[in-house]
Amino acid sequence: MSEKDYSKIIELEKIHHTKLFPKRDYVIVKGKGALLYDEKGNEYIDCVAGHGVMNIGHSHPKYIEAMKKQIQKLVMVPPGYPVEERARLLEKLAQITPKSLTQTFLSNSGTEAVEAAIKLVLAANRDKKNPEIIAFKRDFHGRTLGSLATTFNMKYRKPFMSWLSSNVKYASFGNIDSVKELVNENTAAIITELVQGEGGVHPSPEDFPKALRELCDEKDLILIDDEVQTGFGRTGKMFAYEHYNVTPDVLCVAKAIAGGLPMGATIAPEELYNKFNVGEHNTTFGGNPLVCAAANATINILMKEKLAENAASQGEKMITDFKRLAEENENIRGVRGKGLMIGVDFKKPVKERIINAASKGVFFLNAGLTVIRLLPPLVISNDQTEKVIKVMREISQ
């Protein structure tokens, strides 16, 4: 394609995609591992990874092979028709999550995974007139109207308040007393991210998840663990709850699960799913054979290549260096993270620094106005980690 053709692509995106997505002025043409390439052949280390989706990296040969095979065999049959790829995935999810979580509803995104969890809470609390859910300040759980009601930031919620449930209360993340104060006879569930992502990359304090678990047991509440962003190796373990030794009642996952294809999953005990009557929840695309084959290949790659371990070690290198940098550099307020989910919190907005990093060959993401967030593919190499550290040092001056 000529330079003119690429300019046309950028122009068409600007004209016909909504202004919800401010556009870059280059075209991404391919990806390999932790790298992306633009139309001029420029190479970028992709610390955005499709907003924390591409944990196995771009164009993994095993993933490509599995996709080619599956697309020739079978793409779509609805959830009521048993197929090998779905059966294998459901079994695998039951095997890699806590023993009590035996059943899964497969959907197409993180927000749908959370919607299913909310509906599950309501189905299990038919006796309560006004079931309430406790979420946390800084939480992000999605943008459809149910999950949006549990998302804290007013920027996302305000225009839509008239349609959002008022049965969500927000406690302070990490403060169990603030949760206890909100519990009343209508409280049905608590939803939490164990490392808050969108809200600025805040890992939970060490003992907090256990305190939440105890409170849920004592008050008979459902504990929903939203691992849409933290799941599948991102934090250095397959799931973030493993860092805290807690078992949630409902686990919501999405993003990295299917290596880049859309999938969400809501995993819970059979007794809980039995609270739904047939037809009370459903999906057209969720759990189709193509995306299930993608998820099977992705989970196999994650496990075989020990990518959670690589996330732990590369993440530690980055976090250690960024903390050193923060001591020397007064522009930085703090560094937080777990594994390869890292936030560098600056005192001022980071937009220009992120643009500058791209010009030096590294894509960074933001979390709010002042945090540079890193969610690189978990296949990132030592050399690539070194380059990310170098560029972070340069752009933080």
The binding site for ligand PLP (CB under 6 A) comprises 51, 109-111, 114, 140-142, 193, 197-198, 226, 228-229, 254
* CB of 394 vs ligand PLP, minimal distance in Å: 28
Residue 279 zone, left/alpha/beta (φ > 0; ψ -120 to 50; rest): left
* CB of 223 vs ligand PLP, minimal distance in Å: 15
Distance from the Cα of residue 66 to its chain's centroid: 23
Structure-token pair, residue 120: 């599950």
User: By C-beta, is 119 or 387 nearer to ligand PLP?
Assistant: 119
Residues with Cβ within 8 Å of residue 210, at least 6 apart in sequence: 244, 245, 246
Q: Alpha-carbon distance 239 to 267, whole Å?
A: 13
CA neighbor of 112 nearest in space, from 142, 139, 91, 137: 142
User: By C-beta, is 47 or 391 nearer to ligand PLP?
Assistant: 47
User: By C-beta, is 150 or 384 nearer to ligand PLP?
Assistant: 150
Secondary structure letter of residue 172 according to DSSP: P
Angle, helices 289-304 vs 61-73, to 10°: value is 160
Cβ(250)–Cβ(88) under 8 Å?
Answer: no
User: By C-beta, is 373 or 384 nearer to ligand PLP?
Assistant: 373
Cβ(377)–Cβ(54) under 8 Å?
Answer: yes
User: DSSP secondary structure string, 149-199?
Assistant: HT---HHHHGGGGGGS-S-EEEEPTT-HHHHHTT--TTEEEEEE-SEESTT
Cβ(343)–Cβ(371) under 8 Å?
Answer: yes
User: By C-beta, is 152 or 346 nearer to ligand PLP?
Assistant: 152
CA neighbor of 240 nearest in space, from 302, 300, 292, 196: 196
Residues with Cβ within 8 Å of residue 7, at least 6 apart in sequence: none
* CB of 262 vs ligand PLP, minimal distance in Å: 8
User: By C-beta, is 115 or 321 nearer to ligand PLP?
Assistant: 115
User: Looking at this protein, which amino acid is placed at residue 214?
Assistant: E
* CB of 10 vs ligand PLP, minimal distance in Å: 24
The number of residues in the chain equals 397
User: By C-beta, is 225 or 321 nearer to ligand PLP?
Assistant: 225
User: By C-beta, is 263 or 319 nearer to ligand PLP?
Assistant: 263
Q: Alpha-carbon distance 276 to 119, whole Å?
A: 9
Cβ(311)–Cβ(339) under 8 Å?
Answer: yes
Return the residue nearest ligand PLP (CB atom): 110
* CB of 97 vs ligand PLP, minimal distance in Å: 17
Specify the pairing of strand 132-136 against strand 187-192: parallel
Residue with tokens 């998840």: 209
User: By C-beta, is 102 or 192 nearer to ligand PLP?
Assistant: 192
User: By C-beta, is 95 or 284 nearer to ligand PLP?
Assistant: 284
**Cβ–Cβ contacts within 10 Å for residue 344, how many?**
31
Question: Which SS3 state, helix, strand or coil, does residue 103 take?
Answer: strand
Q: Alpha-carbon distance 397 to 383, whole Å?
A: 22
